[in-house]
Structure 1
Amino acid sequence: MKSKRNYPLLVLKGIGMGAADVIPGVSGGTIAFITGIYEELVGAIRSFDLTALRLLGRFDLRGFWRHIHGGFLFSVLAGIAISIFSLAKLMKYLLESYPIFVWSFFFGLIIASSWLVAREVKRWGIGTVVALAAGTVAAYVITALSPATTPDAWWFIVLSGAVAVCAMILPGISGAFILLLLGKYAYIIGAVSTFDVPVLLLFAVGAVVGIVSFSHLLSWLLARYHGVTVALLTGFMVGSLNKIWPWKRVVETYTNSHGEVLPLVERNVLPGAYEQLTGQPALLSWAIVFMAAGFLLIWGIERGAAALSRRRAAEQEADKH
């Protein structure tokens, strides 16, 4: 890894990941991928191994910090934490008050992200096309599942953390939506909003165990089968568009612990059908504007990152001479 890092920029990238992670249907892994830190992030998480434990056991804190790429990880995780704790209430408000605008924005964002990630596959062949199709189908099936009612026991909170965090680092598979399927999204968001320390600690334990274990598998796949793995991740992103389609009709509802009636099962509908079924405006023109804004945001980030990379390459070349 590079010795000179732009740590404030890494924090901003973490903030983007955290913002995505609190929305059911959008993956923090997607943001990591499009901001160019995905493989480095997976590798850094994978560095929590036996060597790291030995360094920690010898109280070689400096060696431990270098081994786990502490500066990089701390910056990204700090951004994620800042975003989650500051945006949880805001995102809940926006999703309740302006759902079509929010989902439209992220619909455009995911379309642009899928295109950019697919460009990382250098050679398309039968294997990569099959992986793309498999990822698309898998993500579609997952997002079409109905949320479940599950216990609030400590072991299930730990399990939820382990499963959800694995999804959070997969582009297109939303950790927040996995929590929704497990019936724990509102419960965990509530714990974040009220800073319920016991619940958050249990969730964090599961998250740490899950992400360290899963990162080893993902890092191995990226090293051995990079093209196929990236195609599979692209498919996850394409399939997840099913979940973030802006116009939905509520099929089933449930009542939460606060007595609020909330959607349980939703089905996608066309804008015209949405107006007929709900009696509310589809806001199609505004939805297109927000989709375009999401697409252009990702396109702008990618162009900016490419320009920065070219400038650094030119500076390094000039330093050689």
Structure 2
Amino acid sequence: MSKGNISFSQAFMESPGPRSLKSGGLLWAKGFCMGAADIIPGVSGGTIAFITGIYSQLVDAIRSFDLDFAKRLCLFDLTGALAGTHLRFLACLLFGILTAVVSMARVMNYMLHSHPVEIWSLFFGLIGASIYVVGREISSFNAANLLCIMAGAAGSYLLVGMIPVTTPETLTFVFLCGSIAICAMILPGISGAFLLLMLGKYEYITRTLKNPFVTENLVVIGVFAAGAAVGIIVFSRVLHYLLHRWHAATISVLTGFMIGALRKVWPWKDVLETVTIRGKVHVLREMNVLPSGFDSEVFLAIGLAVAGAVAVLMLDRLSGSVKKV
């Protein structure tokens, strides 16, 4: 049914999303946490979405931009298209994400370079507690689900340890990179930046973004964005199907993803191989090690890991349940 006779404000309010200032502020805070995670190498905003109980809603919101939405746009039923999407939910969430990216990028970059053990300890505790929060959604720990957990953990563990490869710079491959990297937005445990680095296109994409108004770069950015749009639309539908058809098995795999991702956020590492990209040193290969001794730095790291875990559990309690906004 066409909704062309209603105003844009009415259509916007019809779309799913927070209904009060309090719920809107809470969703903004969850978006802020997702944005903060997205600027951490190896940490996924999808993990935070899972922790904060908006994972299914995020997938559904992305799925709302479907063929019906495209049909309404083609018929110039703009208010109907707006009312049928989850734009109010996404607008509030994305505002929180952008706020975090803008306000915290410099701080997190400083912390990662000046206090790496402390910041990785905090995120180790955060992801460690999230494993419990997400894992308890598994309806039964039978042999099949345990096997799914092990498979997810093994896959994630191997993935975060892979060395970036050299790949072609064709537009077809750039499109593929966009469709793969964006999936990290809703895939716990793996970051989009890491996937680009693994695909050998991190330097190439960031270089084009540095000079976006050059015609050649504009084409690359457009193709990458198109790939990202297709990737997130297709992958969100696959995830939605899996969550509804095989909920326990899918949650088990995603829980395993986060277990395997702990390899990436282990605080103590020895760097084995690096590469310099645009004047900045990026780690290609590293090895997790134990701390050399129990000094004040180790106790601080343990304290921060505990603090991260407590923060997740408190946020989970504030959310009420992993299925509520």
TM bin (shorter chain): 0.7 to 0.9
Q: Which residue of 2 aligns with 1:285?
A: 299
% identical equivalent positions = 46
Amino acid across the alignment from 2:41: P
Q: Which residue of 2 aligns with 1:70?
A: 87
Query: Root-mean-square deviation (CA), in Å?
Result: 2.8
Q: Larger deviation: 77-86 or 24-33?
A: 77-86
Q: Which residue of 1 aligns with 2:284?
A: 264
Q: Which residue of 1 aligns with 2:229?
A: 208
* Structure 2 unaligned regions, length at least 5: 1-15
Question: Is 1:122 paired with 2:139?
Answer: yes
* Structure 1 unaligned regions, length at least 5: 276-280, 313-321
SS at match of 1:254: strand
Answer whether contact 2:17 2:86 (CA < 8 A) is retained. Answer: no
| Change in CA separation of 1:298 and 1:189 when aligned onto 2, cut-off 3 Å | farther
Q: Which residue of 2 aligns with 1:167?
A: 184
Question: Is 1:59 paired with 2:76?
Answer: yes
Return the offset for 1:101.
Answer: 1.0
Distance 1:87 1:11 in 2: 15
Residues 110-139 of structure 1: per-residue CA shift (max 9 Å, x gap): 000000000111222122111111110110
Answer whether contact 1:44 1:73 (CA < 8 A) is retained. Answer: yes
| Change in CA separation of 1:293 and 1:170 when aligned onto 2, cut-off 3 Å | same
Q: Which residue of 1 aligns with 2:250?
A: 229
SS at match of 1:114: helix
Q: Which residue of 2 aligns with 1:138?
A: 155
Answer whether contact 2:184 2:191 (CA < 8 A) is retained. Answer: yes
Amino acid across the alignment from 1:247: W
Return the offset for 1:179.
Answer: 2.3
Q: Larger deviation: 112-121 or 171-180?
A: 171-180
SS at match of 1:301: helix
SS at match of 2:272: strand
Distance 2:207 2:298 in 1: 32
Q: Give me the TM-score of the superposition, normalised by structure 2.
A: 0.83
Answer whether contact 1:23 1:177 (CA < 8 A) is retained. Answer: no
Quick one: which of 16, 19, 23 aligns to 1:4?
A: 19
Residues 172-229 of structure 1: per-residue CA shift (max 9 Å, x gap): 222232123223446656777x584646555433221210110010000011111111
Q: Give me the TM-score of the superposition, normalised by structure 1.
A: 0.84
Distance 1:257 1:3 in 2: 42
Distance 1:151 1:89 in 2: 32
Q: Larger deviation: 165-174 or 179-188?
A: 179-188
| Change in CA separation of 1:203 and 1:101 when aligned onto 2, cut-off 3 Å | farther
Q: Which residue of 1 aligns with 2:44?
A: 27
Q: Which residue of 1 aligns with 2:6?
A: none
Q: Which residue of 2 aligns with 1:248?
A: 269
Quick one: which of 195, 198, 212 aligns to 1:181?
A: 198
Distance 1:162 1:254 in 2: 25
Quick one: which of 314, 320, 325 aligns to 1:300?
A: 314
Q: Which residue of 2 aligns with 1:278?
A: none
Distance 2:102 2:225 in 1: 14
SS at match of 1:243: helix
